[in-house]
Amino acid sequence: MSPNGNWLARSRPAPLTLPESPLILKPLGRVPKRVGSCKERFEVPPVSERRVKERYGILGEELQEHCIDIEVVKDKVKAFEVEVPSWLFGRFGGGRFGDYMPPAPAPDANAKIRDAAFVHSLTGAAPRVAIHVGWDKPQGVAFDDVEADQFAELRTYARGQGIDIGAVNPTLFLDGTHLGSLSSPMEEVRRRLIRHCVVSCEVAEKYGRGLVTYWLPDGTNYPGQADLWGQERRVREAFREIYETASDQVRHLIEYKVFEPGTYSTVISSAGIARDIAASLGDRAGVLVDMGHHPWGVNVAQIVAHLIGEGIPGGFHFNSRYAADDDHAVEPNRSMYAIFCELVEADVVTNRDPARNWAYMVDQCSALENRIRAVLHTIDSLQVSLAKALVLDRERLGAMRAENNIIGANRVFLDAFLTDVRPIVRTARLERNLPLDPVEEYDASGYQQKIERERRA
């Protein structure tokens, strides 16, 4: 109860007034610089270069006291790269809201490439796009007729736009997979999809970067529906065949997901099961961690630490996990920071030897918000999270641990998390002639209006 009267009445929000249609919300665009007064409180001036430099200087001095060289941190932020998924830009997702789709989805694979290239031009951090073979194959080619060389043109197109093809995803959840994909009891379905995976490996080797990432929709909805071990055995046999048939230049990352589409069981439901399958294949197989694929409350940093400790090759599908899947943009929150602390500690992010790095990819497909803005926000959040992990005073943390000063260690850990590292991220951009704020630049660029005009037809 508020001392000033009825708490409920006072806290009731003002009635919501929607614009004519929620579908025509326009981006705010760059707002004019505020002059003198603080009256127009919602008009935030764009970040100024001068402010960034001032704050970078102050932060540099503070970090120096912890023996952390801000220039080294900045250079690592500059070197960080993450792939964006082609499906983010297309018509995938959003099914929970009828046929609603954020405006101007890319109508074909080339348009997805153009959007991805635009994202890279604003961030300098997304030089590759992960593709889904079944969706990004040339139009008119049937699923079963896909051959690796059909991707030559897409790669040429991507390079022409200034980016490259990254991870390759076989598409294992199309027609005919209602009884599972690689676990299907139907021999012909398994053969068809094993072939599809082998072709995907060839695409990755010839036109990508030799990385294939697998997500299977295999599971069941009811106890008793299937023989659970039989399903896993068939999946293991299929992976063995794919692994042995594919070139030894190809690396394989197996993704797990706690549930969905199966609600009762999922064949590869945990990092442990994915790890077991990968380890049984060989050292070119590893585990793909997708933030959204865990039960709430699972400590993903612990999983990352385990995989690193076991020497299992790893990769990430970044998203915020709010949707119990891959729908939403990343925020620079505490769990993302803790994950980056593990990755930085193990030197598997921005390592000079690229073979030692984990594979970093975004997997999001926001149902409601503008997807380009959402992925720019994600990339910004990842850079901020990385910078926070890099300013952690590890020596002090070690001293606190040695003394068993539990709260002290936690405070040192949080000290880096609470540091505003944005001047580092922004200086890294400035030095590469990139916009200080990619989201703001996107809003001001007119790109969205342009694709909405072009893709209206």
Residues 214-243, mask of contacts with ligand AFD (x by CB under 6 A): -x----------------------------
Q: Are strands 285-290 and 251-255 parallel, antiparallel or unpaired?
A: parallel
Q: Which of 290, 327, 393, 443 binds Mn ion (CB under 5 A)?
A: 290
Q: How far is the CB of 255 from ligand AFD (least distance, A)?
A: 5
Q: 169 vs 448, which CB is nearer to ligand AFD?
A: 169
Q: Which does 169 bind (CB under 5 to 8 A by kind): Mn ion, ligand AFD, none?
A: ligand AFD
Does the footprint of Mn ion cover residue 317 (CB under 5 A)? yes
Question: x-or-dash pattern for ligand AFD, window 179-218, by CB under 6 A?
Answer: ------------------------------------x---
Contact at 8 Å (CB) between 264 and 220? yes
Measuring CA to CA, how many Å separate 420 from each of 212, 374, 424? 36, 21, 9
136 or 290: CB nearest ligand AFD: 290
- Parallel, antiparallel, or unpaired: how do β-strands 219-220 and 265-266 relate? antiparallel
For Mn ion, which residue of 363, 393, 440, 443 counts as binding (CB under 5 A)? 363
Number of residue whose CB is nearest Mn ion: 326
Q: Which residue has the tokens 């893709």?
A: 455
In the list 218, 290, 393, 437, the residue contacting ligand AFD (rule: CB under 6 A) is 290
Contact of 174 with 219, CB cutoff 8 Å: no
- Residues 6+ positions from 423 with CB-CB distance below 8 Å: 52, 55, 56, 59
| Interface mask toward ligand AFD for 55-94; x: CB under 6 A | ----------------------------------------
From 290, 442, 447, select the one nearest 375 (Cα to Cα): 442
Q: What is the DSSP secondary-structure string of 163-187?
A: -EEEEEE---SSTT-TT-STT-S-H
Of 45-53, 79-87, 242-250, 282-290, the segment contacting Mn ion by CB under 5 A is 282-290
Tell me which residue has tokens 């001068």.
50
H-only helix segments in 150-286: 152-160, 187-207, 228-245, 271-281
Residue nearest ligand AFD (C-beta atom)? 215
CA 313 to chain centre: 17
Touching ligand AFD, residues 149-178 (CB under 6 A)? 169
Q: What is the longest distance spanned by two Cα atoms in the chain?
A: 74
| x-marked contacts with ligand AFD along 252-271 as a string, rule CB under 6 A | ---x-x--------------
CB 46 within 8 A of CB 437: yes
User: Segment 313-332, which members bind ligand AFD (CB under 6 A)?
Assistant: 317, 325-326
**Pick 89 or 442: Cβ nearer Mn ion:** 89
Binding residues for Mn ion, per CB under 5 A? 290, 317, 325-326, 363
Binding residues for ligand AFD, per CB under 6 A? 169, 215, 255, 257, 290, 317, 325-326, 363
